[in-house]
């Protein structure tokens, strides 16, 4: 069990998302930064899709009522275990009664705290993810509060040891975020000059940036004619352009459909970098072909495999010794 001493600014239980129910009006939700979320689970030795805590800007304080293995990835929140600093992008053992404290994000915006066995809240429509607006999933369908006690699944920690990632497997969160996008599906509703503005301009993350979407501020993107369309499906990463001409990038808690033209769609491997963006960060869009998007996805998947192999090698060293 994990007892919440301080909940942080906005901490929720998230997993890989509630897929398969968008046709019924239920958003997907799930982790905003899929890379950091999945790496935290790999470090903790969890099965794919295990529920973890997503911590936003300010981490919180948590007491573990049993000995366990935990992992932290994503934004650097200066984590301390029983007063001792622990590395980001690492897994550590926590003794029974151990207290983990995380502060304000030094880099990035969202950190992921995984525990071996996963956060064992009830499954709702195939997922433990929290969707706040409907009060669905997670811990009572809401953000964590002081005094909450979270159950942990049973996987055990035998054979699993502390590990830290380094090098190219650890992303760098910059204040200028470059997002690879594929044009469409309604880019034909914008003139060539508008598309040129979209790619050549720098936009700023506004204060209206949350799990539903990131509103950006910058040069206006004018519509050629219609400013609205018949509502259609909204994928994660869709870049809507409302009548005011400022782009909005749809994120994990996006609604299932929308009626504004979508000039482009951010490719999946780019979205984790936007998820780590803060108000005031700059955003630039870069054109991606389908082949380039597939190559980026293959590279992301390869990194998960590289991490898994690294963990296996580290475990062999611990068990059998040697360099």
Confidence category of residue 311, pLDDT binned at 50, 70, 90: confident
Domains in the chain, start-ordered, CATH in brackets?
2-169 (no CATH), 176-288 (2.40.100.10)
Confidence category of residue 317, pLDDT binned at 50, 70, 90: confident
pLDDT at 319 over 70: no
pLDDT at 297 over 70: yes
Percent of the chain residues past pLDDT 90, beyond the cut: 88
pLDDT recorded at residue 164: 87
Mean pLDDT, residues 79-99:
95
User: Under a CB-based contact definition with an 8 Å cutoff, are residues 253 and 131 in contact?
Assistant: yes
pLDDT recorded at residue 33: 98
Average per-residue pLDDT for the chain: 93
pLDDT at 21 over 60: yes
What is the residue whose two structure tokens read 């506004």?
A: 206
User: Under a CB-based contact definition with an 8 Å cutoff, are residues 179 and 274 in contact?
Assistant: yes
pLDDT recorded at residue 157: 53
The secondary element (H helix, E strand) that includes residue 20 is none
CA-wise closest residue to 123 among 266, 21, 9: 21
pLDDT at 322 over 60: no
pLDDT recorded at residue 299: 95
Q: Which pLDDT tens digit goes with each residue over 136-186? A: 999 999 999 999 999 998 875 555 667 888 888 999 999 999 999 999 999
């Amino acid at each position: 069990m994990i007892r919440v001493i301080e909940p942080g600014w906005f901490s929720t239980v998230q997993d890989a998302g509630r897929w398969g129910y968008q046709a019924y009006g239920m958003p997907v939700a799930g982790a905003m930064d899929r890379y950091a979320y999945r790496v935290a689970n790999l470090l903790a030795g969890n099965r794919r899709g295990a529920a973890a805590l997503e911590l936003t800007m300010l981490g919180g304080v948590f007491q573990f009522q049993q000995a366990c293995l935990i992992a932290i990835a994503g934004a650097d929140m200066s984590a301390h275990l029983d007063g001792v600093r622990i590395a980001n992008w690492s897994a550590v053992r926590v003794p029974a009664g151990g207290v983990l404290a995380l502060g304000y994000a030094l880099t990035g915006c969202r950190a992921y705290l995984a525990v071996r066995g996963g956060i064992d809240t009830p499954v709702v429509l195939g997922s433990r993810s929290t969707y706040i607006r409907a009060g669905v999933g997670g811990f009572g369908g809401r953000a964590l509060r002081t005094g909450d006690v979270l159950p942990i699944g049973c996987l055990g920690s035998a054979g699993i040891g502390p590990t830290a990632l380094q090098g190219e497997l650890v992303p760098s969160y910059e204040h200028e975020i470059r997002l690879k996008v594929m044009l469409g599906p309604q880019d034909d509703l914008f003139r060539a000059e508008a598309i040129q503005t979209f790619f050549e301009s720098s936009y700023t993350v506004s204060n209206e940036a949350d799990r539903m979407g990131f509103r950006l501020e910058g040069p206006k993107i004018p519509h050629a004619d219609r400013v609205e369309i018949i509502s259609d499906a909204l994928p994660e990463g869709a870049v809507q352009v409302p009548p005011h001409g400022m782009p909005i990038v749809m994120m994990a808690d996006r609604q299932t459909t929308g009626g504004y033209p979508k000039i482009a769609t951010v490719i999946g491997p780019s979205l984790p970098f936007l998820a780590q963006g803060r108000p005031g960060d700059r955003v630039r869009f870069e054109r991606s072909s389908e082949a380039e998007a597939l190559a980026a996805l293959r590279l992301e998947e390869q990194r998960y495999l590289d991490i898994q192999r690294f963990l296996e090698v580290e475990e062999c060293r611990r068990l059998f010794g040697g360099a």
